[in-house]
Structure 1
C-alpha cells in the first residue's frame, strides 16, 4: 500500500498542474482530494498551502483553493528576481568558496552526468548544485531572499526537466560553464552565466505555459 504524505500529494499535484492536466481556475477541493489520495484532509490541506506558496494555487470564491491562473509575465518577474539574486551569489561564491567546497561542487556536477534522462534524480542534483553555490557565497541575507523565491519557483524549475527532456543536457552544460568560472575565480563570468542559466529555465517554462493555454 502506498502511504501518501503531504509531500507526495504536493508532488503529484505539481506534476498535474504544470503538465496542464489540471486547468487554471480548477477547484482544489480538500475532501475530494483526500478521497482521491486515500488520506485524511490534514496532509491535503498542508499540500494545498505549499501549492499556494509555490504560486501554483490561489484562493478563489469563499476562500477555497483553485489552480492559479499563472501568466508568463508573472513567472518572468519571479525568474528575473531569482536570476539577479543567484547571479550575485555566484559572483560571491567565485571568491569565497573554499577549495573543499569547490571540489564538492565539481563532484555534484559529475553525479549529474550519471543520471541519464532521469528527470526526478537530476532535479535533486540540480537543487544541490545551486545550494552549494548559495552556501559558498557566505551571505545570509541574500541566501534568505533566495530561499523565499525558491518557495515560489522550485516547482516550476523542476518542471523544466519533466516536460522538456532536452533541458537536462543544456542545464548540465550551463552548470559546467558556471563551475569553470567559479574555479577560475572569475566573478563577472559566474554572474553572467548564472543569469543566463536562470533565463534559459524561464524560456522553457514560458513555452510550457504557451502550449497549455495559460
Structure 2
C-alpha cells in the first residue's frame, strides 16, 4: 500500500512539475504534502526521493527538497545520451526482432495513427519504445536506457500534451522507424531513432523557453 501510495504521489507531482503548475524553486515540504495527500510522511519521502532521481527535484536550503530548474543544456545532455543508447538498441532490433515482434510493432504504430488523445498516445509511445528495447535483446543497454528514461520519460510525455503538432510528427517518425526495422536496415533504424529522440528535445526546448519570465 505504501509503495502504491508513493507511486501515486510521485505521478501527481511529476504531472504538476512537467505541466508547469509547480515553479522551479518551489518548496516540496514533506509535512505539507502529507497533509495535502492525506497520508503519512513515509510515502511522501519515497516520492520525493524518486523525483530527485528523475532530476525533477533537488536539495535546497537546509537540505529540503525544491522543484529543480531544468535548463535546456541539462535536457540536451540527457536526451543526447538517451538518443545514443536507444539508437543502438534500435539498430540491434532491426536484426534481432522476431517476425511476431515486428508485426506487433507495426500494430502499435497503426494504433498510434488512429489515436488523437495526447495522454493515450503517450502510453502508445511508451509501448512502441519498450517493444524496440525488448527486441534488441541486450540487457545492459536496456538497463542503461531505463535509467535515462527515469529522467526523460516525463518530459517526453509532455511533448504530446503541450504541443499537439508533435502527435503527427511522432506518428510519422514511428512509421519510418518501424519500416526500417521491417527492412532489417540497422543503420537507417539507428539514424531515425536518434533523430526521433532529438525531435522530442527540440519541442521541449521551446516549451521551457515559453515558461521563462
TM-score range, shorter chain: over 0.9
User: Does 1:126 find its partner at 2:131?
Assistant: no
Q: Please give the TM-score of this superposition, normalised by the length of structure 2.
A: 0.94
Aligned to 2:188: 189
Deviation at 1:162, TM superposition (A): 1.6
Aligned to 1:102: 102
Aligned to 2:12: 12
- Cα distance in 1, alignment partners of residues 157 and 50 from structure 2: 15
1:158-191, CA deviations, whole angstroms, 9 ceiling, x for partnerless residues?
1111211221111111000000000001111101
1:85-116, CA deviations, whole angstroms, 9 ceiling, x for partnerless residues?
11111111111111011011111112222332
- Cα distance in 1, alignment partners of residues 42 and 115 from structure 2: 35
SS at match of 2:58: strand
SS at match of 1:58: strand
Deviation at 1:15, TM superposition (A): 2.0
User: Where in structure 2 are there 5+ consecutive unaligned residues?
Assistant: none
Alignment of 1:77-156 (within 5 A): 77-116=77-116, 118-156=117-155
- Cα distance in 1, alignment partners of residues 193 and 162 from structure 2: 22
- Cα distance in 1, alignment partners of residues 164 and 7 from structure 2: 24
Aligned to 2:172: 173
- Cα distance in 2, alignment partners of residues 52 and 106 from structure 1: 36
Q: Please give the TM-score of this superposition, normalised by the length of structure 1.
A: 0.93
> Matched residue pairs, number?
210
- Cα distance in 1, alignment partners of residues 129 and 19 from structure 2: 24
1:4-45, CA deviations, whole angstroms, 9 ceiling, x for partnerless residues?
832222222122212222111111001111222222222222
- Cα distance in 2, alignment partners of residues 164 and 93 from structure 1: 29
Deviation at 1:133, TM superposition (A): 0.6
Aligned to 1:27: 27
